[in-house]
Amino acid sequence: MLRRIFANPYLISFLVFAGIAARIILIVLSKTRPESPLGAGSDAPTYILLGHSILHGHGMAYVGQPTALRAPLYPLMLAALEAIFASHYLLIVRVVQSLLAVLSAWICAKTARQLWNEQAKWPAFAVAICTPTLLFFTTQITTEIFAAFFVSLFLYFLVQYSANENWNALIGMGICSGILLLLRFNALFLPPMAALAAIRFPLTVGNLKRALLPLIVALVIVSPWLIRNFIVFHGDIWYSSQTGTTAFQGALAPEGRNQPEGLVELKRQQGWWLSMIEIDRPSRLNFPSEVELNRQARSAAILAWNGLGFHIIPLLIKKTGYFWLSTDQLLDTSSLLDVQRKLRAVGVLAYWALLAVAMLGWLRLRKSTPRIAYLLLLYCALATALHLPFTMNTRLRVPLIDPLLCVLAGIALAPGSPRASEHAHTQTG
C-alpha cells in the first residue's frame, strides 16, 4: 500500500515542495535572531559567543581561559561568516544550513539508489526533506545540520566502498569522519566504523592498509585541534573537556537537557553546570580551569555510576529510549511552552512512523545484501554504545542516525526488486 502511494510523483513533488517551503518560512521567521522560533534554550548563544571570541582574536576561550567544551569547526565557521556578512551573518548561516539540508536529502536519495534501485531514490529524498527531526534543526544555530550532511556523505561512501571497494570511497569516509570529529565530539565512533567497513578476511597486509587509511586521514584532519589542546592544556586534555560532566549527567540527568530539576541536582553534587562555565564574564574566573573541572566531574561521575548498582540496567533502558524513541521529547519538556510541547509530540509520532518504515527497509535490504545490512546495523550499535556512559537524547541521535533511517525508508517504500541483475553493487549513483 505505502509503496503504491509513494510511487505517485505528485505526492513526492508535494512533499519536496512542503519541506523546502517550511525551511524558507523558518528562515523568514528567524532572520538574524540567535534563537529559531522552534528553539527553546539551545546551545546557540554558546556557539555565537565562541564565534565572537575567535573573530576578535581570542580563540576558543572564555575570559581568556582556553576551552575544549565545544568542537571548533562550527564556531570557526560562524566567525568567518560574521567577518564577511557582519550583522546579517546568522541569516546567511540559516540559508547555508537549509541548502545543506536539501543536499543531505539528495545524498540520502543517491545512497538509497545504490543500495536498492532507481525507484528508491525519490521516496528517500521526499522522506529526508520532510523528516521533522531534521527539519527542526535547519534554522537552529547549532551543529546538527552540518553534522547530518557529513554523516549522509559518510554513509554514501560506506555503501559505495562496500559495493565495489573503491579506494576513493575509503578516503571519502576518512575525510567525512575527520570533519565530523571537529564538528561534534560524539562522532568519535566514525573512524573505527570506517576501518571496520574496510576490513576483509582473511586478513592481509593490503587489507590492514585499507582499514588504516580512513583512520589516518581522519587523524590528519583532527590533528591541529589535538595539538592545540595539548599545548594550551599542557597535555591534560587532548580532545574534549566535556567527558567528565557528560558522564556525570549520564548517571544523574541522563536526558542531558536543561530541565530545572536536573540542573538543581547537578549543581548540588557537581557545583556547576555548563551555562555557568560557558560565559565571557568575570564570574567565569570564580571557577578553576577546564582541566580541573573535568577532573572533578570525572571523579564525581565514577562515584555516581558506582553508586547505581543494579539500577544501572533500568537507567540504560531509559536512556536508550531517549535516544532511539525520542521519549525525552515527550517526558522532559516541562520548561517549554505548551505549543512547543505539542509540536514536539507531533514530531515524535512522525519519527516513530519513520523508524518503523526504516526497520522494514532494513529487513528488505537484509534479504538482498546481508553484508551491507549488518554493516549498517553495526553502525547503529556503535553509535548507541558510545553514548551509553554519557547523556542520551533526541538531539544527539538526529544527525548520526536519522539520515540512515531516511535511506532505509526509501528502500522500504521503493517498488520493485534490487537491481541485482546487472550492476546492483557496482554502480555508484
Q: Which of the residue ranges 294-303, 329-338, 407-416 would you say has the lowest mean pLDDT?
A: 329-338
Q: Which pLDDT score is estimated for 428?
A: 41
Rounded CA gap, 274 and 245, in Å? 8
Rounded CA gap, 365 and 370, in Å? 7
Q: Which pLDDT score is estimated for 168?
A: 93
pLDDT in tens, 356-374: 999 999 999 999 999 999 9
Q: Which pLDDT score is estimated for 313?
A: 95
Q: What is the mean pLDDT of the chain?
A: 90
In 31-120, alpha helices (H): 44-55, 73-85, 89-115
Q: Which pLDDT score is estimated for 259?
A: 55
DSSP state of 338: H
Rounded CA gap, 169 and 162, in Å? 9
Q: How far is CA 12 from CA 53, 75, 132, 267, 281, in A?
A: 44, 36, 16, 49, 50
In 242-311, alpha helices (H): 243-252, 260-270, 274-277, 290-308
CA angle 133, 135, 140 (to 5 degrees): 95
Q: Which pLDDT score is estimated for 330?
A: 83
pLDDT in tens, 288-322: 999 999 999 999 899 999 999 999 999 999 999 99
pTM for the predicted model, two decimal places: 0.93
Give me the amino acid identity at 352: W
DSSP count for the chain of H helices, then E strands:
20, 2
Cβ–Cβ under 8 Å, residues 319 and 327: no
Q: Which pLDDT score is estimated for 205?
A: 86
- pLDDT band at 427; cut points 50, 70, 90: very low
> Residue 41: how many CB atoms within 10 A of its CB?
13
Segment of 71-85, 201-215, 239-253 carrying the highest mean pLDDT: 71-85
- pLDDT band at 424; cut points 50, 70, 90: very low
- pLDDT band at 263; cut points 50, 70, 90: low
Q: Which pLDDT score is estimated for 38?
A: 76
Give me the amino acid identity at 171: I
Q: How far is CA 63 from the centre of its chain?
A: 29
Q: Which pLDDT score is estimated for 257?
A: 59
- pLDDT band at 425; cut points 50, 70, 90: very low
Q: Which pLDDT score is estimated for 382?
A: 97
Give me the amino acid identity at 261: E
pLDDT in tens, 153-165: 999 999 999 988 8
pLDDT in tens, 1-41: 678 787 788 899 999 999 999 999 999 999 899 888 877 56
Q: Which pLDDT score is estimated for 9?
A: 86
Q: How far is CA 73 from the centre of its chain?
A: 14
